[in-house]
Amino acid sequence: MPPPTSAKIASSPENPLRIPENAEAYTAFEHWGTAREAGEIEPVIFLSGPAGCGKSLLVRWGVRQCLSRHPKLSSLVLTAADFAAQFAEASANQTIPLFQTALRELDLLVVEDLQTLQGRGETLTQLLNLMIALREREAAMAFTANCPPGGLAGFPPRLVSRLRGGISVRLTVPGPESRLKILLQLARGKKLRVSREALVHLANQHPVTPRELGGVLSRLESMSRQHRRPLDLELVRRYLEREAELPDLTLQDIAREVAAEFGLKLADLRSSRRTRELAFPRQVGMWLSRQLLGESLLNVGRFYGGRDHTTVGHACQKVAELLASDGELPTRIERIRRKLRREV
């Protein structure tokens, strides 16, 4: 069977910003691989925290740090859902021994979003046996989840014990000072003309995750172009006032308004069909779900026809790019948001 599929890791993206909320995790990944240099066993690293707090950014940066020191290491980065799917495929094809052999030859393994394996007994047993085998060959391992190891319901005690046995770090939503640092970094990366006063106000008044801050800046940039006004304190205040007016929303609410905007049936938008007339509206729905609800890639993909996280990530990236170049799209998205605020 072919080797397990790895998630793509960009070769030179911007490094994660070191802030107090991620300092311990940053240090752990900054020095990933140094234990190997000293002839010691690398500790298992476990990152937990809410969606959007930077777990993936840190862990993938850590992989690059480790591979920069040891470029010949065989590595694999994948989500827990992908691990489960590949194990299921191997089971269906009666190639489990080959699947196990390919994984047990790794020098570095990263599995993200472990909480999605809840209740999958056979898959969890495979993961436990894999950890044991990789520990015997002194491989480096890292895992992420939305909760600490002890909060992983339905996981075998032996697996939880091994996940607890290394460096376990809980990431939190950044505070105002850290949010300002993140906003300044994002604005520089976008080459965005925005007043520091506006960013300070946004950092103080909008307690959201780093990922959401990126979406906020994109929306502010869109509003600035649409209304032909500078991205200043007044625009930020107007944006925050509008956000406060949004009611409690669900994925269904957003999908319903997207379908109405594009003249589609809700069932078609959520279906597994891949026709051209459905593809782009579905991408808009995915992007809005991430921006307005902070939903995980996995949950959004499940809602829209059972798609995987990479499809959702690609969709969100495409919509974000179009918002910077498509004159019609910002207007349509603002119209959807206005309906979600139940405005006339």
User: What is the average pLDDT across 92-120?
Assistant: 92
- Per-residue model confidence (pLDDT) at position 245: 64
Show the tokens assigned to 79.
Answer: 């989500």
- Provide the greatest CA pair distance for the chain: 67
What is d(CA 80, CA 225) in angstroms, rounded to the nearest whole number? 40
With tokens 């209740």, the residue in question is: 119
Q: Counting beta carbons within 10 angstroms of the beta carbon of residue 99, is it exposed (0 to 12), middle (13 to 18) or buried (19 or more)?
A: buried
What is the residue whose two structure tokens read 């974000």?
Answer: 320
Residue with the bigger pLDDT between 140 and 309: it is 140
The residue ranking higher by pLDDT, 159 or 342, is 159
Quick: pLDDT tens for 41-70: 889 999 999 877 889 889 999 999 999 999
Residue with tokens 């790895």: 6
The per-residue DSSP string of 129-145 comes to: HHHHHHHHTT-EEEEEE
Distance between start and end Cα atoms, the chain: 57
Q: Sketch out the chain's domains with CATH numbers.
A: 20-170 (3.40.50.300), 176-245 (1.10.8), 251-340 (1.10.1750.10)
Q: Is 70 helix (H, G, I), strand (E, B) or coil?
A: coil
pLDDT (mean) for 101-125? 92
> pLDDT tens for residues 170-203?
998 899 999 999 999 989 888 888 999 999 999 9
pLDDT tens for each residue of 294-316: 788 888 999 999 988 878 888 88
For 299, how many CA atoms within 13 A lie in the half-sphere containing its CB? 13
